[in-house]
Amino acid sequence: MNEIKLGVIGGTGLYEMPALEIVEDREVQTPFGQPSDSITIGRMHGIDVAFLPRHGRGHRILPNELNFRANIWSLKSLGVDTIVSVSAVGSLKEEYVPTHLLVPDQFIDRTRHRADTFFGDGLAAHVAFADPICGSLAKLVGDAAEMVHTEPSPGGVAAQVHRGGTYVCMEGPQFSTRAESLLYRSWGADVIGMTNLQEAKLAREAEICYATLALITDYDCWHEGEEDVDGAAVLEVLRQNSKVAQGVLAEAICRVAQGRQRECGCADALALALVTPRDLIPEETFERLEPLIGKYFDSPT
Ligand SMILES: [Zn+2]
């Protein structure tokens, strides 16, 4: 079996790529419960890629119901060290037009009640999170996105890609009120979604490089003058976004397959983060987290 370094979290349509050979579906158990669904392993450009449908096949799980810890842990347990997340977002700025792509580099947390750390239970740890997205992976995703066209040429035009931006992660499942949407705009935020921040936090704790390809589906409710949006137009945006996302992923997988060096700090994120001395960490906690923290403690003699 090939090792699996690259994971993709996103919709189920993502792996309907002609060049992707589906190898198997794998059920993965984690100490934090069930991930959203089984993981589909696909092979492309000579590497294996693990696809996890964020909301489960058929879209059954609300953002606030997601078991983020199980999702990230399940990929980590397969050997994944790089996660590309694909998600739909609303635009908070005029210039981010529905169908455009954005690769965020910051987050603002507007969630509540979400389990978003592997630590606790007797082990304190604080990872650095000033730069919550892996810069080198974000560059790779941005470069891949700029290669993609909205439709196969000659009919298509190059995908519009915005690099960098602040993603407001809201609790949901309801969309924002207009007052909230205007508030986020006044903060200078760029896009709004419901899922990516917890993934980024847990990926960092698991020392996994993480970047997001945000697909802009609509203007959030701040935008006036969009009152004539009809269902057919929204469906067309979603269809186009899905095609473009597949194209970006295919390109990104190709780049990873060519040999990606992890020249970022993600692989050592816990080096300065673990606070509690080994002899004070409860054995049960240590054993559960051993795949993450074991390398930082001398093995017993
Ligand atoms: Zn990284």
- Residue 275: give its domain's CATH number: 3.40.50.1580
Distance 64 CA to ligand 1 centre (A): 26
| pTM for this model (two decimals) | 0.95
Query: Is 218 designated active site?
Result: yes
Domain membership of residue 34 (yes or no) is: yes
190 inside domain = yes
Is 301 a domain residue? no
Distance of CA 180 to the CA centre of its chain: 24
Residue-number span of the structural domain to which 41 is assigned = 4-296
Rg (CA), the chain: 19
State how far the Cα of 219 lies from the Cα of 200, in Å rounded to an integer. Answer: 24
What is the distance between the terminal CA atoms of the chain, rounded to a whole angstrom?
Answer: 32
Q: What confidence category does residue 241 fall into, taking pLDDT thresholds of 50, 70 and 90?
A: confident
- Our count of domains for the chain comes to 1
Least confident of 77-86, 144-153, 176-185: 144-153
Answer whether residue 170 is part of any domain: yes
- Would you give the distance in Å from CA 298 to the centre of its chain? 32
Burial class for 272, CB neighbours closer than 10 Å (0-12, 13-18, 19+): exposed
Instruction: Provide the mean pLDDT of the chain.
Output: 92
Q: Point out the catalytic residue in the list 218, 228, 268, 279.
A: 218
pLDDT value of residue 170: 97
Q: Is residue 32 part of a domain?
A: yes
pLDDT tens for 148-159 read 987 766 667 788
